[in-house]
Structure 1
């Protein structure tokens, strides 16, 4: 490779890094954000951070029941979306496409660990596995988010600076798994991480300013974690607002070289 070619490639990478960083820090205006699962908990806190940033003229916020999205901010656009329903995914994507050409920040917060109403619980041993529970957990944690991204189409297939972030979990790490158990949840989030990597490569071929990552929010005081908080020290149990602040700082400091990784709330990459 010639010095000129090397320099040109480096300039392209550097330009992409600066553009994405400045995009969230304030050099661009009138952009669109999309927060899936923004009616409460961590999702709602991330909506608040998006609005407070002053970066977005529209913040599309989805929930299974759009009436739960309560905001007096005119920038908030409530959208009904059920990630386990293909028709709902298609309708929500079409609604957004009718209102904007591009999405510049897309965050998906979907996560299912247990559901007392249906008896779904994280498995402690292999014998606890059932096909129906595995399918439901994978549908929410893995299939849904990436069928959603696929449906967005041109909204995320552009050449502007863009970040796509999907909430993941440290327990999805194969290299860091020392306890086992939680088979469906772990495996669904691990599969999610592979799709994150694949999407980062696919979008990166045409948009060097696109960053696609998984985000580990830490242990957040939400319904998902409440049954498992007993062993968590108070300083490591975050409020939704705290975790959203940490994750926003991570987003502010992402570079294209990190695309495809899973990043924890403290900015550290998680072992695959």
Structure 2
């Protein structure tokens, strides 16, 4: 029997997130595998994979903040806002006179903090039940609604001048739902030369770091994080007695116990170190928001 757990995988370029899930299914011998947060085929880096009952935890990972390192190419636009798309425009020599170090810094600053961002049309967002990228590939014109996101850090690490373009290596800390391709597109538009993404690597998802991830060739026999350990990183760990664990599993509330939670949710862990589930406040009480199978640890 396959044990439930959270697996951290370093996705290579050229593969979809679904490809990684398929490889994980074969390696672990189970169909019950999912991931928290898609990475484009061009992108590399951290995918958080849930196996067996631990797939229930992915809901609490999806909304976590993320860190990316990326390369923005100024001077060109593409149809996908990244290097996979056809080049649509190239900046004229005259346009570069306005692209000073100060102008780049001002553009980056204006895209930092709480911002309103229009996602790239070639994205996995669903429009009337279909992925936006499927509609674009079918020849439809797709304009997605703006969304509020938070870019807590947008830092230029290095810059390299090329023939008719300027590459910026950047580091971005951001809220879930932020599109780094859109940051590249918008920075280029602000500077009047256009921009797109040529490289993207996700290095962190919430408390999970790519430094702890396995590569695909090492999937067989790869170690996973036990549900209790993983949940305790994502949320406040809350020790519950075996009697409380039994009540939670049976749908009963823990009367008058809401004050035990620091936030809205916590990971309830029993005397044996097993993850009982995720608990939430309900008035003055605690109740189960999600129960794990009893074998999950």
Instruction: Judge same fold: TM > 0.5, yes or no.
Output: no
Q: Which has the higher strand share?
A: 2
Of structures 1 and 2, the larger Rg is shown by: 2
Per residue, is there more helix in 1 or in 2?
A: 1
- TM-score normalised by structure 1 residue count: 0.25
TM-score by length of structure 2 reads: 0.24
